[in-house]
A and B are shown apart, each in its own frame.
Chain A
Amino acid sequence: DTAVSQTPKYLVTQMGNDKSIKCEQNLGHDTMYWYKQDSKKFLKIMFSYNNKELIINETVPNRFSPKSPDKAHLNLHINSLELGDSAVYFCASSESSYNSPLHFGNGTRLTVT
């Protein structure tokens, strides 16, 4: 009965490859997010979708493309992976109001070699 689940948990790949991370939430939330956490634990928002519509895109390279087939799912596809993409990627969801907290998945640790 995991609230926000993302797969895979670990992803090791070589530079230049394309990979995807999947996320699903069963909380009935309208808004979903992707955050990137670097090696110093700094968390930065990448994208946000509300009811399948992209509402936040924080100057992320075009190699990153989010897709939301429905409001319970938000996937992240990354093309032409680079060393600097190595990080932990977190999916999160929330209700659509400014005082609603985020509910996070357990993260996907991406390592690009």
Chain B
Amino acid sequence: AQSVTQLGSHVSVSEGALVLLRCNYSSSVPPYLFWYVQYPNQGLQLLLKYTSAATLVKGINGFEAEFKKSETSFHLTKPSAHMSDAAEYFCAVSDRGSSASKIIFGSGTRLSIRP
């Protein structure tokens, strides 16, 4: 079965600084990978998804992620953090080993932005 590991439960950056949230996956087949964002008291929203069309995926709100097979990674980046980016971020993988479509989430990374 597929799985994802998010390194760092909490990341804090200054406003305007680079955001880097780490995600590594484990998969025996080419994975479908996702990043979601959760703002306080809300459901999760899709930021971007990787489905093998291109290794660099651009998402909403200026975020992007790069799929690196050699490193089994799918890290999320944003060149310049904004206060509104403060939220919980989840990396996820579609478990193609199961009989039905099932998305497995990482443990999440809380992003804080310092003024």
Nearest opposing residue in chain B for A104, CB measure: B43
Q: Does A50 contact B (CB under 8 A)?
A: yes
Q: Given known contacts A41-B108, A42-B107, A98-B32, is B101 in contact with A31 (CB within 8 Å)?
A: yes
A97 touches B101 (CB 8 A): yes
B44 touches A94 (CB 8 A): no
Q: How long is the Cα–Cα vector from A94 to B103 in the complex, in angstroms?
A: 10
Binds A, one of B17-25, B63-71, B73-81, B92-100: B92-100
A101 touches B46 (CB 8 A): yes
Q: How long is the Cα–Cα vector from A100 to B49 in the complex, in angstroms?
A: 9
Which residues 19-50 in A have Cβ within 8 Å of B in the complex?
Answer: 31, 40-45, 48, 50
Which residues 32-75 in A have Cβ within 8 Å of B in the complex?
Answer: 40-45, 48, 50, 55-56
Which residues 4-52 in B have Cβ within 8 Å of A in the complex?
Answer: 32, 34, 36, 38, 41-46, 49, 51
Give the interface of B toward A (CB within 8 A): 32, 34, 36, 38, 41-46, 49, 51, 88, 90, 94, 96, 98-105, 107-108, 110
Give the interface of A toward B (CB within 8 A): 4, 31, 40-45, 48, 50, 55-56, 90, 92, 94, 96-107
